[in-house]
A and B are shown apart, each in its own frame.
Chain A
Amino acid sequence: DTGVSQDPRHKITKRGQNVTFRCDPISEHNRLYWYRQTLGQGPEFLTYFQNEAQLEKSRLLSDRFSAERPKGSFSTLEIQRTEQGDSAMYLCASSLAGASFSNQPQHFGDGTRLSIL
């Protein structure tokens, strides 16, 4: 059972550039989540998918952010025209959808650390 995989682990880019991150969930998981974590804070929810459908987006997800999960497997998160405030760890998680929490915790990847110069 491989875990959630994120690529790249680190991304350094100049302000104004576009960046794209990829997340491969645990293979049997149909739900996929994106979170953002800044230094000294807990993760903040950005968006989540069930299969290929994007079911919820946070107010944190500005128009510069877009996420896709075209075939219901891997997902990409793109940030356009990056700003200094976008510097953070971007975490992906996956889980099984179901009626109860008990055996469906969200499992997280190692994250992509984004640094904006």
Chain B
Amino acid sequence: AQKITQTQPGMFVQEKEAVTLDCTYDTSDQSYGLFWYKQPSSGEMIFLIYQGSYDEQNATEGRYSLNFQKARKSANLVISASQLGDSAMYFCAMGAQAGTALIFGKGTTLSVSS
């Protein structure tokens, strides 16, 4: 069975600093996708970044990058130059095949202070 583990309930960072949010996963599939979503207090889930299991390079999207270590089954999200608007809940998720259900972790609350 697939599983996503996010061990950091909360993280605190100052503006302009970088922060890493941890995510480990468990699957017996060879092909899978890893995703990060942001959920502000307003509730909407915002797609941030995706990494495929066969992608050799780490994904990057603006200030977001995904530190993918396949052997360790980890897919950590790195946010560079944190902004106050980054304060939100962040979820790591995994899908076995394109278009099927996503399995989510419990999330990490990120608080950015000035």
User: Which residues from chain A sit less than 8 Å from chain B, CB to CB?
Assistant: 31, 33, 35, 40-45, 48, 50, 56, 58, 89, 91, 93, 95-102, 104-111, 113
Contact = CB atoms under 8 A, between A and B. Distances in A.
B50 interface: yes
B87 to A, nearest CB: 17
A40 B43 CA distance: 12
Nearest to A46: B101
A40 B107 CA distance: 8
A9 to B, nearest CB: 9
Main secondary structure of the interface of A (DSSP, over half): loop
A35 B47 CA distance: 15
A109 B101 contact: no
A91 B103 CA distance: 14
A3 B79 CA distance: 25
Interface of B: 4, 33, 35, 37, 42-47, 50, 52, 91, 93, 95, 98-107
A48 B44 contact: no
Given A35-B102, A113-B43, 8 more contacts: A33-B102, A42-B107, A93-B45, A97-B98, A100-B98, A101-B52, A104-B99, A110-B43
Contact of B91 (A43, A45, A100): A43
Contacts of B99: 31, 50, 95-98, 104
Contacts of B91: 42-43
Nearest to A50: B99
B50 A43 contact: no
A106 B52 CA distance: 14
Contact of B101 (A41, A48, A98, A111): A48
A45 B102 contact: yes
Nearest to B102: A106
A98 B98 contact: yes
Given A110-B42, A111-B44, A101 B102 contact: no
A111 B43 contact: yes
B14 to A, nearest CB: 25
A42 B52 contact: no
B44 A110 contact: yes
A69 B93 CA distance: 25
B104 A43 contact: yes
